[in-house]
Structure 1
Amino acid sequence: MAAGDTAVLTDVDDALAEFQGHLNLIFARARSLWKESAARINPELQPSGYKLLAFIARAGSANAHQLAESFEMDKSVVSRQVRMLEDLGLLESRPDDTDGRQRVLTATPTACDMLAELRGDHANRLRETLATLTPEEIQAASKVFRLLAEV
């Protein structure tokens, strides 16, 4: 390997290490944001419950099996979170018309309103944070995140 090739590999490795460090910070910030968002909805709500609730609201409905699969959570964890969400009046459950063993879960109107307010706040934060970037730079960042999501 030529000296120039080694320098290029070192530059790439350094850039990837920096990128990975920033990803770690983003993941930590996301966990913090989930915790903060859950507390804004209800002080008793755990971040995992918040993520399930947000998913159900976005999807329109879901069942516990879909949630466990989508979030790679144990069914008992999903079951506890669903029960808590129901107890807090944030989730409604009804029998599935096609499979009586399943329950269809939907977010209550109150939960949908709270989630919409949070989404608006999050969008404003993101807009402010990215205000110095051009649309092309935002599209490039979006492409990177899309690629990472497909891994």
Structure 2
Amino acid sequence: MGADVHGPDQEFLALERELAVFLRRARASSGEMARAVHPELEAAAYGLFVRLEEGGPQRATELAAYFGVGKATMSRQLRALEDLGLVAREPDPADGRASLVRLTEEGLARFRRVRDARRAQYVTKLADWDRKEIAELARLLHQLNERADMQEPGAQLRP
């Protein structure tokens, strides 16, 4: 039997529905943007570009923890980017045994072209929105993301 869409939780049901649609579109968009950076990239690569551009050089272990993936998965993704000349490793000045991953000039230039084109799409799609509405949406999404980051590990859905 379906949930009562007119009951006390109707706002949360509407939120769940809209987030599901948004996430589906975001996943598809990440794949398109990654392939626009380089045709051989998988969707997950775009998030790596965003993180490295915003946070600068980072250890592979930090990236794996941030994205919630294993070290082997992150190593494979970084190796693919390295083979394409989009990221490079450099010695970590804080620990000579470790290395930092950074975007190459080519990787940064390709990422910024795609990001700027994406931003232009947002401007076009939201042209009839008031700038205050856009700022409010960004604020609310940031707040939602912060709450998600505060969620305790293992506090996932349980039947």
Matches for 1:38-57 after TM superposition, within 5 Å: 38-57=34-53
Percent identity of equivalent pairs: 29
User: Structure 1 stretches (4+) deviating beyond 3 angstroms?
Assistant: 9-12
Question: Displacement, 1:79?
Answer: 0.5
Matches for 1:2-151 after TM superposition, within 5 Å: 10=6, 13-151=9-147
C-alpha distance in 2, partners of 1:147/1:53?
23
> Aligned letter for 1:140?
E
C-alpha distance in 2, partners of 1:52/1:25?
23
Between stretches 140-149 and 78-87, larger displacement belongs to 140-149
C-alpha distance in 2, partners of 1:41/1:136?
31
Q: Which runs of 5+ in 1 are unaligned?
A: 1-8
TM-score (norm 1): 0.86
TM-score (norm 2): 0.82
Cα offsets for 1:10-39 (capped at 9, x unmatched): 365223212221111111111111101111
> Aligned letter for 2:21?
L
Between stretches 60-69 and 9-18, larger displacement belongs to 9-18
Between stretches 52-61 and 22-31, larger displacement belongs to 52-61
C-alpha distance in 2, partners of 1:11/1:130?
32
Greater per-residue helix proportion: 1
Q: Which runs of 5+ in 2 are unaligned?
A: 148-159
Q: What is the aligned length?
A: 143
The structure with more radius of gyration: 1
In the alignment, which residue of structure 2 is the partner of 1:3?
A: none
Between stretches 118-127 and 15-24, larger displacement belongs to 15-24
C-alpha distance in 2, partners of 1:116/1:146?
22
C-alpha distance in 1, partners of 2:92/2:103?
15
